[in-house]
Amino acid sequence: MPWATLITSCLAGLAAFTILVRVARHDQATFWLDQGTIRLSLLPAAAALAFVPYVPFRPLTRTTPVPAWVTPAGHLLLAAPFLAITFWAQLRIMAPAIPPHAPQDPHEPFYALIAQLIGWSAIIVAAATSTARSRFADLGGAIAAPISLAVIALAWYTPLTAKFLVKPPAIPHSIAIGWYVIAAAALILTCAAMRDHWHRYTRGPHRPPRPTR
């Protein structure tokens, strides 16, 4: 479990977000503190998920009777609370910076933001587990992180997908549904990548040679 990478990424994103909030409060520029700021500050922590499913000594673990998916799934379960705490802390930090009399935007509910973060995390985990399945498993997150971030940027800025996944022009309801569909597809890919490596035998059963007369 890459604890150092995960914790460092969460703390780095949290520290950068805290500095941005303090600067905005000092300069009376809190108008640009929105959900987009939270998204950008959570990218380092989300990218750290690419290193979480990595299993060292994979050839050795395959010889044990424990299923191959237990170790990476356990890593992901341990990493989830760190991301949730980071997200909650950023919301708590941003709340005092917004004036109480500021009008709340009804078109920015937090359930759409949560769906986006879940979709991002699912894409990153799917890329990491797929990389671990390939011959580049030792590189792990070094390959999965840029690939997953490129996929997220492609879905974010492509006009065909942006009209369903990004506001505007998409509405929050369609944003939440779209990212949850992506998360479900990424979960299916993750489960397929973490399945056991079954050996496939191509030779038929051994038959003793016929006795010659």
Confidence of residue 99 (pLDDT cuts 50, 70, 90): low
C-beta separation of 87 from 103 below 8 A: no
Mean pLDDT of the chain: 78
Angle between helices 35-47 and 3-26 (to 10 degrees): 160
Q: In whole angstroms, what separates CA 3 from the centre of its chain?
A: 16
Angle, vertex CA 143, rays to CA 161 and CA 85, nearest 5: 70
DSSP 44-58: HHHHGGGGTT--TTH
Reported confidence tier of residue 164, pLDDT bands at 50, 70, 90 = confident
Give the residue-averaged pLDDT of 92-111: 59
Which three-class secondary structure state does DSSP give residue 136? coil
Task: Report CA torsion sign: 37, 9, 182, 143.
Answer: positive
Strand runs (DSSP E) across the chain, as ranges? none
Instruction: Tell me if 30 sits within 8 A of 99, measured CB to CB.
Output: yes
pLDDT tier at 31, thresholds 50, 70, 90: low
Q: How confident is the model at residue 199 (pLDDT cuts 50, 70, 90)?
A: very low
DSSP states of 12-56: HHHHHHHHHHHHHHHTT-GGG-SHHHHHHHHHHHHHGGGGTT--T
CB 140 within 8 A of CB 50: yes
pLDDT at 125: 92
Dig out the tokens for 6 from the structure: 């995960």
Return d(Cα 50, Cα 139) in angstroms, integer: 11
Return the number of other C-beta atoms located less than 10 Å from residue 64's C-beta. Answer: 10
What is the DSSP-derived secondary structure letter of residue 203?
Answer: S
pLDDT value of residue 181:
94
Q: How confident is the model at residue 24 (pLDDT cuts 50, 70, 90)?
A: confident
Question: Is the backbone of residue 140 left (phi > 0), alpha (psi -120 to 50) or beta?
Answer: left
pLDDT at 97 over 50: yes
Q: What are 119-154's pLDDT values in tens digits? A: 999 999 999 988 887 877 777 788 888 999 899 889
- By the 10 Å C-beta count (0-12 exposed, 13-18 middle, 19+ buried), 88 is classed as exposed
In this prediction, residue 2 carries a pLDDT of 75
| Amino acid residing at 187 | L
Q: Name the pLDDT band for 184 (thresholds 50, 70, 90).
A: very high
pLDDT of residue 20: 80
- Can you read off the two tokens belonging to residue 151? 């996929």
User: What are 206's two structure tokens?
Assistant: 């051994």
pLDDT tens-place string over residues 41-65: 788 888 888 888 877 766 666 666 7
pLDDT category at 206 given cuts 50, 70, 90 is low
Query: Between 20 and 189, whose confidence is greater?
Result: 189
Residue 202 has pLDDT above 70, yes or no: no
